[in-house]
C-alpha cells in the first residue's frame, strides 16, 4: 500500500505550493518520521524563493534531501524535527536536515536524536546553532576579547548567545533595527546601534547580509582584528572597503559557512550533536518569534521573504 505525504515546493519567483508525494516503504536501516515542527531559515529560503541562488552555486547550495533543481520547482528546507514511527529509534524525537514535509523516509544515520532536555519546538534551531558553532570554531575567540556581533538575525543571535558564555569578553549585539534590543536583552547581551557600537574590537562576527554592515564591521576592528563573515549574499555583488585603514591596521576577513566543518577533529554528526546539546538552554527560545500551521505555508513564506511578516526563526507546526 503506497503511503503519501504532503510537501512544500518552491514553484516560481515568490510562489510556493503544497503537493502530495509518494513515500517508499522503509528499508531495514531506514526510518519513517512524522514531522512535528520545521523551522524557516528566512535568509536562505527567501533567497531560494526569489530564484537568487547563483548558477555556479547550485551544487553547493543543495540541501541534503532537496528534490528538484534551482531555480524551480524545488523542495527545499533543512530544519525538521519529528518522531520516528517506524524503524530504528522507534518513538524517539529526532532532528533531520529535511524540507517542509508531513512524513518522510530517510536512512537512520541521517537523523539525530534530540536530547530529552531539549523541547521539540526549540530543536528546530539545531541547524542555526550548528552554523554558529562552526563560526566560533572559525573565529577562535579568546577570554577577554572585545567582540561585536553585527546583525541580530537567527545566525547572529545564535552566535551572540554562545559568545555570551565566554568569560571576560566585552560583547555587543549591533543592529540597525532598534527592536533587536529586546532580543539582546533576552540573550543577556548589550545592544548597540551601528553608530554607537564600541570600536577597538578583536573580533567581529558579521551576519547582517548587508554591505553597510560589513563596512561597519571593518570599522569596528582594532589593529590586527578580524571579521568572520557569516552572511550569504547569493547572486548579489557586495563592495568591501579595502582602502583607508584596511592594510595599515592589518585587518582580516574570514569566510565561514556550515558546509565544511571548521575543525579537522570533528565530524558533521558531532557538530550537530553538540548544537542540540547546547539547545538545552532556554535562552534560545528568544530566537523563535513566530509560528504558523503547515497548511498556511504557501501564504506565510512569501510574506516572510518580503518582510511583510517580520520574524527571526519562524516555526511551522504540523499538529496531530
Q: Which domain holds residue 246?
A: 129-255
- In terms of domains, do 216 and 242 share one? yes
Tally of domains in the chain? 2
Residue 320 pLDDT:
62
Per DSSP, what are the bridge partners of residue 313?
A: 288
Residue 226 pLDDT:
97
Question: CB neighbours of 196 closer than 8 A, spacing ≥ 6?
Answer: none
47 contacts 68 by C-beta, under 8 angstroms: no
Reading the block at residue 162, the C-alpha cell is 554562545
Residue 44 pLDDT:
87
68 vs 117: CA distance, rounded Å: 36
Which residue in the block uniquely carries the three cell numbers 529586546? 182
- In terms of domains, do 113 and 137 share one? no
- In terms of domains, do 285 and 245 share one? no
pLDDT in tens, the chain (320 residues): 579 999 999 999 999 999 999 999 999 999 999 999 999 988 889 999 999 999 999 998 899 999 999 999 999 999 999 999 999 999 999 999 999 999 999 999 999 999 999 999 999 999 999 999 999 999 999 999 999 999 999 999 999 999 999 999 999 999 999 999 999 999 999 999 999 999 999 999 999 999 999 999 999 999 999 999 999 887 888 988 998 899 999 999 999 988 899 999 999 999 999 999 999 999 999 999 999 999 999 999 999 999 999 889 999 999 86
Per DSSP, what are the bridge partners of residue 75?
A: 67
Helix (H) or strand (E) holding 273: helix 268-278
- In terms of domains, do 42 and 140 share one? no
227 contacts 202 by C-beta, under 8 angstroms: no
38 vs 35: CA distance, rounded Å: 8
- In terms of domains, do 137 and 241 share one? yes
- In terms of domains, do 111 and 148 share one? no
Per DSSP, what are the bridge partners of residue 317?
A: 37, 293
Instruction: Identify whether 264 is part of a domain.
Output: no
- In terms of domains, do 246 and 296 share one? no
Reference 86, options 132, 29, 160; nearest CA is 29
User: Could you tell me the CATH number of the domain that includes residue 293?
Assistant: 3.90.180.10
- In terms of domains, do 111 and 142 share one? no
User: Could you tell me the CATH number of the domain that includes residue 213?
Assistant: 3.40.50.720
210 vs 259: CA distance, rounded Å: 21
Instruction: Identify whether 214 is part of a domain.
Output: yes
Residue 1 pLDDT:
58
83 vs 93: CA distance, rounded Å: 4
Which residue in the block uniquely carries the three cell numbers 504557501? 298
Residue 74 pLDDT:
97
Amino acid at each position: 500500500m503506497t503511503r503519501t505525504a504532503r510537501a512544500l515546493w518552491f514553484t516560481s519567483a515568490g510562489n510556493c505550493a503544497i503537493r502530495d508525494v509518494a513515500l517508499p516503504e522503509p528499508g531495514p536501516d531506514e526510518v519513517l518520521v512524522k514531522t512535528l515542527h520545521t523551522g524557516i531559515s528566512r535568509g536562505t529560503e527567501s533567497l531560494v524563493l526569489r530564484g537568487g541562488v547563483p548558477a555556479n552555486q547550485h551544487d553547493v547550495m543543495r540541501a541534503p534531501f532537496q528534490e528538484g533543481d534551482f531555480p524551480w520547482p524545488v523542495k527545499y528546507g533543512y530544519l525538521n524535527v519529528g518522531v520516528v514511527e517506524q524503524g530504528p529509534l522507534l518513538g524517539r524525537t529526532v532532528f533531520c536536515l529535511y524540507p517542509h514535509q508531513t512524513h518522510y523516509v530517510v536512512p537512520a544515520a541521517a537523523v539525530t536524536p534530540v536530547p530529552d532536555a531539549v523541547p521539540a519546538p526549540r530543536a528546530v534551531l539545531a541547524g542555526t546553532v550548528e552554523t554558529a558553532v562552526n563560526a566560533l570554531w572559525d573565529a577562535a575567540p579568546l577570554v577577554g576579547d572585545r567582540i561585536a556581533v553585527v546583525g541580530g538575525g537567527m545566525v547572529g543571535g545564535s552566535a551572540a548567545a554562545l559568545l555570551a558564555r565566554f568569560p571576560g569578553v566585552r560583547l555587543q549585539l549591533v543592529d540597525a533595527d532598534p527592536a533587536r534590543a529586546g532580543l539582546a536583552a533576552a540573550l543577556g547581551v548589550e545592544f548597540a546601534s551601528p553608530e554607537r557600537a564600541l570600536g577597538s574590537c578583536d573580533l567581529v562576527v558579521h551576519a547582517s547580509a548587508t554591505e553597510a554592515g560589513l563596512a561597519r564591521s571593518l570599522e569596528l576592528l582594532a589593529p590586527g582584528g578580524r571579521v568572520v563573515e557569516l552572511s550569504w549574499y547569493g547572486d548579489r555583488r557586495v563592495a568591501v572597503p579595502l582602502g583607508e585603514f584596511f592594510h595599515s591596521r592589518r585587518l582580516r576577513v574570514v569566510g565561514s559557512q556550515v558546509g565544511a566543518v571548521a575543525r579537522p577533529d570533528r565530524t558533521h554528526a558531532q557538530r550537530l550533536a553538540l548544537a542540540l546539546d547546547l539547545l538545552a538552554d532556554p535562552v534560545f527560545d528568544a530566537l523563535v518569534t513566530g509560528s504558523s500551521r503547515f497548511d498556511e505555508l504557501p501564504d506565510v513564506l512569501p510574506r516572510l521573504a518580503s518582510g511583510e511578516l517580520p520574524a527571526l526563526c519562524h516555526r511551522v507546526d504540523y499538529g496531530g
